Amino acid sequence: MKTVAIIQARVGSSRLPMKSLLCLRGHALIDWVVRRVSMARRLDGVVVAMPDTERDRVLQAHLEGQGVQVVRGSEQDVLSRFLLAAQATQAERIVRICADNPFVWGEAIDRLVDFYDNAHLDYCYNHIPRNNLWPDGLGAEMLSRELLEDIGRLADQPSQREHCLNYIWDHRDRFGIGTFDPEEDWLRRPEVKLDIDTADDFCRLALLPVAMESDAREILAAYDGSRKDKE
């Protein structure tokens, strides 16, 4: 079955405008995400789902100039945008990734896909430390295109359209939801936040001595080193 990563990106973040194009150690933030997602071995494709606004054309031009597939859709109705991306790529299974996770780890995505294959659940995740011990920002979420299409028909609240998988959590009694812990003790770090929501988050992570190819162990070591420097 075709498994496609859909990266949710835009330039119009209210808390940190132009976030996707901010320079993180010599590369745009979105380039970190696309490159690191592409390192996952269990994926058959990667696409960026972005708004069809005039100001987002600069992000589209940046990505298409590097050969990255882009699908544009509604800025506010992110759920419909994701459905367009799933249809355009003929995805049968979808791995959702936010573009504010520059340190997303290909291995964490692969482990999620393997878990999804073996667990036989509707929705699986390891991107946030909710009922698991993963750091915030290394992983992803996963569901079938069939379920995404069902949600597209059923979701009728603005919050469920803007936050495209909220319907699952709002009706969690209807779905099989699963997560899992990292195998390694050093990776069990739920207190670590590696996503970028604010300018302070960006400044904190931009100073870490890491590269696009760094694995999770190197990133966590850099994170711990930066905290010791402040003590």
Strand order in the sheet with 141-144: 70-73, 45-51, 3-8, 93-98, 141-144, 123-125, 177-178
CATH number of 3-230: 3.90.550.10
In this structure, the number of other CB atoms found within 10 A of the CB of residue 146 comes to 11
pTM above 0.75, yes or no: yes
Structure tokens that stand for 167 in this block: 């319907």
Express each pLDDT in 43-56 by its tens digit.
Answer: 999 999 999 999 99
- Alpha-carbon separation of residue 77 from 47, 89, 112 (angstroms): 18, 19, 26
pLDDT in tens, 132-181: 999 999 999 999 999 999 999 999 999 999 999 999 999 999 999 999 99
Q: Which residues of the chain have pLDDT under 50?
A: none
